[in-house]
Amino acid sequence: IMQRIVFIDTADQYPHLEEWVKANGGEMADVKIIAFTPEIQAVLVDKGIPHDSTVSYFGRIGHEKALARSSEVLALLREYIEIADNFGNSMSYKHYILFNLRFFLHYIFFMLEVIHQTIRLHQPEEVLIPVSPSAGDGASNYATYPSQLSNITEAYCKHIGMTVKKIPIPGAVADI
C-alpha cells in the first residue's frame, strides 16, 4: 500500500512534487505517480522515474460507464437547449453544443474513473494535489493547461473523505 498518490498531467509538476515531498520529510518511493498524459509519461520514462499510466485504471468497464453517464446527462440537457439565430436555425446549434459537451463529459468521467480506481486499488493515506496559481480561475478549458485534474481530484477526495495535501506549482511551464 502506497502512503501517497499523486495525479499529474504536465511536465512542470514533477520537479515541484519531488521538492515538496523531500522538504516535508518524505520519500518519492512512498508516492505512487499516475501520469495522465503521454507528455508526462515520456518525461518520466526519460528520467527513469517510476509511474503508472492511466491504462491500468480505465479499461472496458470504465469506457462503458463513461458512455452510459454521458448519455444520461446529454439526454437531460437535450430538452433544455434552445438556441436559435435570426434565420430560425436551431438544430445545428443544439447538435454543436451537445457534440462538444460529450467530449468534455467523457474527459471528466475518464478522470473520475481513474482517480476512483487508483484510490480504491492502492488505498493511500493521502492524495497529493499539484495546484498552479491559475488552477480553478475559470479561465482554462478542458484541453489546455491548467487542466481541471487538480480541481476534480480535490472534489472527489473531499466527497469520499480522503486527506489531501496541495502542492504549489508556479505558473510557468518548466522543462524538467
Run means of pLDDT, 10 residues per run, the chain, 176 residues: 84 90 91 93 93 94 94 91 82 87 93 96 95 55 60 95 91 44
Per-residue model confidence (pLDDT) at position 133: 62
Per-residue model confidence (pLDDT) at position 124: 96
Per-residue model confidence (pLDDT) at position 141: 42
Question: Which residues, other chains included, contact 145 with Cβ-Cβ below 8 Å and sequence gap of 6+?
Answer: 10, 132, 173
Per-residue model confidence (pLDDT) at position 139: 45
Q: Say if CB 109 and CB 145 are below 8 A apart.
A: no
CA dihedral 130, 151, 63, 125 (to 10 degrees): 60
Core vs surface per residue 63-79: b (16+ CB within 10 A) or e = eebbeebbeeebeeeee
Per-residue model confidence (pLDDT) at position 145: 43
C-alpha cell at 82: 434552445
Per-residue model confidence (pLDDT) at position 119: 96
Which residues is 5 bridged to in the sheet?
32, 127
Per-residue model confidence (pLDDT) at position 53: 95
